[in-house]
Chain A
């Protein structure tokens, strides 16, 4: 492999590149889904290839191929250089990279039980147990249980002398129960919707979820939701469970702090950001309780790694400190714009994609409001909601609207009536400004988001969000006509 890497880097320099890097990536994934008592899908996927990125006359070119052979590596590198020259035809300022010193190192996700060494029989046993537990509840129309495992081995090298090898291991699982009647279709999920919870780590994380142990409860809730009253409309105190706080962070903090969005690179697709450069250090993003970090080193986070795909070491940097907006997610190309070096958040989905600024783990630090039940007890009247169902936010990440699977009215510090189809809407800084309590470390979980779409061609990012349940005052809930 050393020889192949050197060939690419030499070919790039011969083609006039001032900078070049190559990533050689091999990814394996396994996914199993049990649906309504039968194994619906059992897949094993494998993909490998390399991508070469070059900077010629201040403009980028990238090319990629699955054929890891000497002539192909040289052809692809020459193609990347030709593409870079075409980029230069449109004019504009040259790209300047930051001064990150070239890194040499190796990283392997800490894990106990290699998910690929766990037998198919064992994984299916866990899924069928959960399925059977959901089936014990009358009135469930669709039951689904799934396990996903992934392993990515990648080597990064640059003409500046960087050389990094990594092996990222992921495991995830989840269950869903859906009940249907003439006018409603209601789902409950555990530990989270959209495929469940995913972490970097070993299969021990899946075992710890105890899918079967939670199956009956979610099935009963799905059935009960069919006859629950519609969530009321109005402004009220809202307590959001940890997983939905995670998604709230993702959409209203994680995306707008991507410096490429701020600089307009994503304007024609995902959009821009209200966190313009003048807001850095100046904007009160949330209340003083709100402290958010971008932490690529957090154990188990789905956005945890050793180095990003520009060879920058994983870091933990503040984004919001006591409510004030203080940091962006950056890359080697964008960080100099704010006078900094990259904080290491440039990652690519696969060998055939260029690295883009991606969230790492964007974590809301836990507070001192104790457990979720403590927080409910501390709330006179309000609404408690759990588990994401729908999401939408504008292109600058200001006006959002979320729906969750389930809600409960809070009366005099007690969780009372279950309500269905809860939704809430707001404007990002006003909403975070209304946060007046965050539960403590015992309620804190880093939720994995394995389906974050960004870029063209679109890339699917694996990112994480540490969150505990939190309380927000005077929030518009029950949006629209029902």
Chain B
């Protein structure tokens, strides 16, 4: 058992001990640990307040072309013996896989200072309750129902293998999210995600959401159709999240389901998107689940598809090396782009608004999904602040729209990109993206949300 689950020396000692206990063949020991606390509030009170603390070990054993994997969160001697026995039993009975990649070898050491702030690791329930109170106060001052969550967590990922990999990285993350709702269907949203809990301005988050909510009340109808749009950063980040699932992985390209045709123009020449786990302007994650240090990958450069992220398996097939984007291997999902960035432009949301004759302002999207992977057609709903723009001004709030739109097509019609960017964490996946706001000529809205009274 590791006394302190985030102590790198103790963790490496555990991993080396496990590797030493394995008889024959190659082995990889993957360790993940998390201390997480989360305070949720709704109807202006805290209704859920939880902490959890767990560490687990995943062992991959390879003998020739046979592989077995087993995992456990029992890290005492009995637990370790058992997990080794299970992985070995699977390995020894497994069918050979001639296509499997070798374990990665020793590669760069991550910068331990990246992505870790002690104040976040030490945050207590009183601090989170105080943040919740600030948000609730901002909402109640505007006569809104307030809900949200304030979380702080410390995570450690460590990998050691018999080919010399021995890496570990500990990160912290704090996240405050709120949705505020009021009379007339008013709804507003704000999010702040940081490595340092001290950088989260709870009152500011509350005020942003309250402002949106108040402005979105008594929304009116507008016929669905193609409209010019201003997409705020939250909406842009969600699109990038789905492009990541859809096409930024080498496996998606190798299996022919990605919109990314390497070397070809896939978007407008003002679009540049990359992945960088070492950039402190994001939420750094410096090694992957195979222990490979993350490299920056230029995904789309001036509109041209220039790269995809790799793990050891996709890299082997493509005759290249891993970029450090593996999930726990082996798996069927392939590598994933986790730390996205989109290059800023020179515009501002105010300037975009002034330049819009008639269009729709979108604060964020909800429940997006991929309709057609190869064309990167996505669908989803607008949420928490959708407004009609006329003659350079926001004239009234609109009921939420459904969009069904090919993103490479829409990203070929970007008119303006803001110079300011915002760091956003995706709702479900945890993918992060630092993105600007976008003004796009022509975005296809295919439906409007239902009325309160239903059918």
Contact = CB atoms under 8 A, between A and B. Distances in A.
User: Is chain B found bound to chain A in the same assembly?
Assistant: yes
Contacts of A480: 371, 377, 379, 404-405, 444, 446
Nearest to B132: A90
Contacts, number: 306
B151 interface: yes
Given A267-B42, A479-B447, A480-B405, A428 B454 contact: yes
B444 A399 contact: no
Contacts of A142: 255
A67 B1 CA distance: 10
A264 B69 contact: no
Contact of A38 (B69, B99, B406, B449): B99
A44 B49 contact: no
A401 B447 contact: yes
Interface in A118-172: 119-121, 124, 128, 141-142, 144, 146
B446 A265 contact: no
Chain A's interface size range is 35 or more
A39 B49 CA distance: 42
Given A92-B45, A268-B178, A393-B367, A38 B98 contact: yes
Contacts of A391: 369
Contacts of A120: 89-90, 93-94
B372 interface: yes
Contacts of A265: 40, 42-43, 47-48, 147
A210 interface: no
A391 B41 CA distance: 28
Nearest to A397: B450
A128 B95 contact: yes
A66 B374 contact: no
Interface stretch (A76-84, A105-113, A369-377): A76-84
Contacts of B181: 264, 267, 272
Contacts of A481: 404, 406, 444
Contact of B366 (A266, A394, A429): A394
A86 interface: yes
B111 to A, nearest CB: 27
Most buried by B among A128, A353, A481: A481
Nearest to B98: A38
B450 A274 contact: yes
A268 B148 contact: yes
A102 interface: no
Interface in A31-51: 33-36, 38-49, 51
Interface in A388-418: 389-396, 398-399, 401, 403
A390 B74 contact: no
B22 to A, nearest CB: 15
A93 B55 CA distance: 36
A91 B45 contact: yes
Nearest to A425: B447
A15 interface: no
B149 to A, nearest CB: 5
A299 interface: no
Given A38-B97, A263-B42, A354-B50, A433 B255 contact: no
Given A44-B70, A66-B55, A141 B255 contact: yes
A182 to B, nearest CB: 9
A389 B370 CA distance: 9
A88 to B, nearest CB: 8
Interface residue SS majority, chain A: mixed
Interface string B423-455: 000011000000000000000101111101011
Interface in B68-96: 68-74, 82-83, 86-87, 89-90, 93-96
Max chain B CB contacts within 10 Å: which of A67, A124, A266, A391?
A67
Contacts of A394: 366-367, 381, 383, 400, 402, 449-450
B332 A47 contact: no
B50 A185 contact: no
A366 interface: no
Nearest to B47: A265
A156 to B, nearest CB: 17
A398 B402 CA distance: 11
Given A38-B99, A46-B70, A394-B449, A92 B94 contact: no
B36 interface: yes
Main SS of the interface on chain B? strand
A39 B447 contact: no
B347 interface: no
Contact of A428 (B93, B133, B450): B450
A398 B149 CA distance: 25
Contact of B42 (A36, A79, A268, A283): A268
Interface in B20-47: 36-47
Q: Which of B1, B95, B404 has the most CB of A within 10 A?
A: B95
Nearest to B99: A38
A184 B402 CA distance: 24
B239 to A, nearest CB: 14
Given A269-B149, A398-B449, A425 B52 contact: no
A328 interface: no
Interface in B166-206: 177-179, 181
B39 A87 contact: yes
Contacts of B371: 389-390, 401, 403, 421, 423, 480
Nearest to B258: A185
Contacts of B51: 62-64, 79, 83
A7 B147 CA distance: 35
Contacts of A393: 367, 381
Contacts of A79: 51
Contact of A82 (B52, B53, B125, B404): B125
A45 B71 contact: yes
A39 B97 contact: yes
A281 interface: no
B276 interface: no
Contacts of A284: 455
Residue among A49, A141, A395 with the most chain B CB within 10 A? A395
B256 interface: yes
A154 B391 CA distance: 62
Interface string A243-269: 000000000000000000001111111
Given A44-B87, A66-B73, 6 more contacts: A39-B94, A84-B49, A88-B46, A91-B44, A390-B379, A479-B379
Interface of A: 33-36, 38-49, 51, 59-67, 79, 82-84, 86-93, 95, 119-121, 124, 128, 141-142, 144, 146, 178, 180-181, 183-185, 263-269, 271-272, 274, 279, 283-284, 352-354, 389-396, 398-399, 401, 403, 421, 423, 425, 427-430, 432-433, 453, 456-458, 476, 479-482
